[in-house]
């Protein structure tokens, strides 16, 4: 059986200084999983939407909730090797196993983790979320498959604490991660106290956010949006900051992760990393991690028609072969912004259309902007 060398876990430390990173705040040190996420280097593996809890604040989308389907960086997983391929695509340095509850699909979770460790080695950092009490056998299986960091989501006060203790005693980096419900200082302080008492490493506090699936429950509770430009719940951040102030001398690392950070930094860094890794020679990477390119569309496209047009353009305008390709998926030609702009002026033909396109570097290649260039004759 493989034995992995575990990442050093930030020891629970007493800290009295609240530090700031982006719009987030923390006491002590950040967990390794969060540091990698901040670099955009964490692969997100949504193992399954199946979960035994019914949290009123559950943010999982309708597309994924209660469905036993896996996704990796928003791409559907058809076979286990899709997970490793996506990790290669973005040069990931680690992965987060999430859901639902990944432990309810334990074999699937282990089946994603083992190949990742095999491909990238023991330095590839894996963290996982659970809201269940895991027995020692499950913890051992996870550890042997390469789990470095386990984050417990506490929904009640039951047996989960034994699991947290056992996980920490097995030398896995162990912490708690929960959303901050406005006004719940006392409950969260109690969690922080208990966690520091059993040598837990960290407490992560997430700003509560509205989603399509929790909207109705939030309205019932009179929760409001923090601002017109944010999905964050008003009062969640204040509660988190108050907890940080009250925990200054606890022996625990505490990290508050804001909704603004998730929207503006976390996703952007992951896109940038993937875009830089996968951009073709003719694609430009925008500062938001999107791919910019020129597109040539033909009427009633066929592969033969597109290949012939490409050949012709290469010959007539001496375009380097690597700067113009047939996009079989979207049935069009792709090239650089500059070439597309020039061709739209110099090569006007009936049935040809030129565009500038901006798209996500994700597998669904979602287009965020399509600008038509001068219409051909």
Task: Please say which residue, 181 or 285, places its beta carbon nearer to ligand SF4.
Answer: 181
CA distance linking residue 332 with residue 303, whole number of Å: 9
CA distance linking residue 235 with residue 223, whole number of Å: 9
User: Dihedrals φ, ψ of 254, to 5°?
Assistant: -125, 130
Taking CB under 6 A as the criterion, the residue among 40, 100, 289, 294 binding ligand SF4 is 100
C-alpha 249 chain-centroid distance: 32
Task: Please say which residue, 131 or 266, places its beta carbon nearer to ligand SF4.
Answer: 131
Closest CA to 151 of 274, 253, 267, 288: 253
- Show contacts with ligand SF4 in window 14-33 (CB under 6 A): none
Spatial contact of 42 and 93, defined as CB atoms under 8 Å apart: yes
Q: Does 55 bind ligand SF4 (CB under 6 A)?
A: yes
Residue with the two structure tokens 């389907």? 69
State in angstroms the smallest separation of the CB of 231 from ligand SF4: 15
Task: Please say which residue, 153 or 332, places its beta carbon nearer to ligand SF4.
Answer: 153
Task: Please say which residue, 60 or 373, places its beta carbon nearer to ligand SF4.
Answer: 60
Burial of 109 (0-12, 13-18, 19+ CB in 10 A): buried
State in angstroms the smallest separation of the CB of 177 from ligand SF4: 10
Spatial contact of 226 and 237, defined as CB atoms under 8 Å apart: yes
Taking CB under 6 A as the criterion, the residue among 14, 39, 53, 372 binding ligand SF4 is 53
State in angstroms the smallest separation of the CB of 129 from ligand SF4: 8
The tokens describing 115, both together, are 């190949």
- Show contacts with ligand SF4 in window 104-143 (CB under 6 A): 131
Q: Does 64 bind ligand SF4 (CB under 6 A)?
A: no
Taking CB under 6 A as the criterion, the residue among 58, 279, 297, 331 binding ligand SF4 is 58
Q: Does 51 bind ligand SF4 (CB under 6 A)?
A: yes
Total residues at interface with ligand SF4 (CB under 6 A):
11
Task: Please say which residue, 115 or 182, places its beta carbon nearer to ligand SF4.
Answer: 182
Taking CB under 6 A as the criterion, the residue among 36, 60, 138, 191 binding ligand SF4 is 60
According to DSSP H, which parts of the chain are helical? 32-38, 81-89, 106-120, 136-145, 160-169, 185-197, 215-220, 236-246, 259-261, 267-278, 303-317, 337-346
Task: Please say which residue, 21 or 106, places its beta carbon nearer to ligand SF4.
Answer: 106
Contact positions vs ligand SF4 (CB under 6 A): 51, 53-55, 58, 60, 99-100, 131, 153, 155
């Amino acid at each position: 059986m493989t034995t992995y060398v575990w990442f050093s876990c930030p020891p629970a430390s007493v800290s009295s200084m609240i530090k700031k990173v982006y719009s987030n705040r923390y006491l002590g040190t950040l967990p390794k999983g969060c540091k990698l996420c901040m670099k955009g280097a964490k692969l997100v593996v949504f193992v399954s939407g199946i979960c035994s809890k019914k949290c009123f604040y559950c943010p999982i989308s309708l597309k994924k909730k209660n469905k036993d389907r896996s996704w990796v960086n928003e791409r559907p997983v058809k076979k286990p090797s899709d997970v490793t391929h996506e990790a290669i695509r973005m040069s990931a340095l680690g992965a987060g196993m999430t859901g639902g509850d990944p432990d309810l699909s334990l074999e699937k979770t282990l089946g994603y983790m083992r190949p990742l460790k095999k491909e990238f080695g023991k330095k590839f950092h894996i963290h996982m979320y659970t809201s269940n009490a895991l027995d020692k056998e499950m913890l051992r299986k996870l550890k042997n498959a390469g789990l470095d960091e386990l984050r417990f989501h506490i929904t009640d006060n039951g047996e989960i604490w034994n699991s947290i203790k056992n996980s920490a005693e097995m030398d896995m980096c162990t912490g708690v991660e929960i959303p901050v419900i406005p006004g719940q200082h006392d409950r969260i302080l109690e969690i922080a106290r208990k966690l520091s008492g059993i040598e837990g490493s960290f407490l992560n506090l997430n700003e509560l956010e509205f989603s399509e699936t929790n909207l109705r429950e939030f309205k019932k509770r009179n929760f409001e949006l923090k601002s017109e430009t944010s999905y964050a719940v008003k009062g969640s951040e204040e509660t988190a900051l108050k907890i940080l102030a009250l925990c200054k001398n606890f022996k625990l690392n505490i990290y508050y992760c804001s909704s603004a950070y998730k929207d503006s930094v976390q996703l952007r860094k992951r896109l940038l990393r993937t875009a830089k890794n996968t951009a073709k020679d003719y694609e430009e990477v925008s500062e938001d991690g999107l791919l910019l390119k020129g597109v040539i569309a033909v009427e009633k496209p066929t592969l033969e028609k597109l290949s012939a047009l490409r050949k012709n353009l290469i010959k007539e305008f001496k375009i380097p072969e690597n700067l113009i390709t047939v996009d079989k998926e979207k049935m069009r030609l792709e090239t650089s912004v500059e070439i597309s702009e020039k061709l739209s002026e110099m090569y006007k033909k009936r049935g040809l259309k030129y565009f500038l396109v901006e798209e996500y570097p994700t597998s669904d290649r979602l287009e965020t902007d399509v600008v038509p260039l001068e219409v051909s004759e």
